[in-house]
Chain A
């Protein structure tokens, strides 16, 4: 059972902006633990996309951005491109579990 909740799927047309939510609780995101986001293409390992809520590793386009407020976090993708079609996962730490936790993953479809 995932500790964080994500919508199973989102979609958008090329050029549009989409957001993916990641809802937690007072024991993880709400406890001020950082949220990280990963991008995963079929048959490949997850790739770090956003770390520490809103930081991009080198090589990640600035079309990707992250934010956090209260017990939730969001990943925003602007100027949607066909190559963005993938599954996106959020991750944080849960102090009641004393464990890292992931969301269920969100499948992004570019229409």
Chain B
């Protein structure tokens, strides 16, 4: 059974850096075609794709966030870390990590974490 869970601060000040950890189980991020993506959702708004890290450590980022966003992995710990710099109140959102396996469906996120709400405010 695949599970993912996000963890990190709930309140961050503007201009600070956000670090979120996605801890997963039930799959290996070393398996071919597997990836972990990050998606966020501001309150009452649409889902926004942030980025993705693949089994081979290839990374893809949203063009609008690429200059501020970094995604890394710790395969031995089954964790993926999102780092977002220079936070602004518009970054206030629920942040989700999700499992992706392109061998079953290209680009689909089949299992999602419960999400973690992050508020950016002074």
Are A92 and B63 also in contact (CB < 8 A) when A45-B115, A105-B46 are?
A: no
Residue of B nearest to A52 (CB): B105
Whether B114 pairs with A102 at a CB distance below 8 angstroms is no
Whether A101 pairs with B49 at a CB distance below 8 angstroms is yes
- With an 8 A cutoff between CB atoms, is B8 at the interface? no
* Count of interface residues, chain A, beta-carbon cutoff 8 Å: 27
* Count of interface residues, chain B, beta-carbon cutoff 8 Å: 24
Whether B47 pairs with A34 at a CB distance below 8 angstroms is no
- With an 8 A cutoff between CB atoms, is B9 at the interface? no
Q: How far is the CA of A88 from the CA of B59 in the complex (A)?
A: 28
Q: Which residues of A contact B (CB under 8 A)?
A: 2, 33-34, 36, 38, 44-48, 51-52, 55, 57, 89, 91-93, 97-105
Are A89 and B47 also in contact (CB < 8 A) when A45-B115, A99-B60 are?
A: yes
Q: How far is the CA of A34 from the CA of B34 in the complex (A)?
A: 17
Provide the main secondary structure of the chain A interface: strand
- Residues of B with C-beta under 8 A to A101: 49
Whether B108 pairs with A36 at a CB distance below 8 angstroms is yes
Residue of B nearest to A37 (CB): B108
- Residues of B with C-beta under 8 A to A97: 62-63
Tell me which residues from 70 to 122 in chain B have a Cβ below 8 Å from any Cβ of chain A: 96, 104-115
Whether B105 pairs with A36 at a CB distance below 8 angstroms is yes
Q: Enumerate 21 A-B pairs (CB-CB under 8 Å) in ascending A order.
A: A2-B46, A33-B106, A33-B107, A36-B105, A36-B107, A38-B47, A46-B96, A48-B111, A51-B104, A51-B105, A57-B110, A91-B47, A91-B49, A93-B106, A93-B107, A99-B63, A100-B37, A102-B48, A103-B46, A104-B46, A105-B46
Other-chain residue from B47, B60, B113 in contact with A105 (beta carbon distance below 8 A): B47
Q: Nearest Cβ distance between residue B46 and chain A, in whole angstroms?
A: 4
Whether B105 pairs with A45 at a CB distance below 8 angstroms is no
Residue of A nearest to B4 (CB): A45
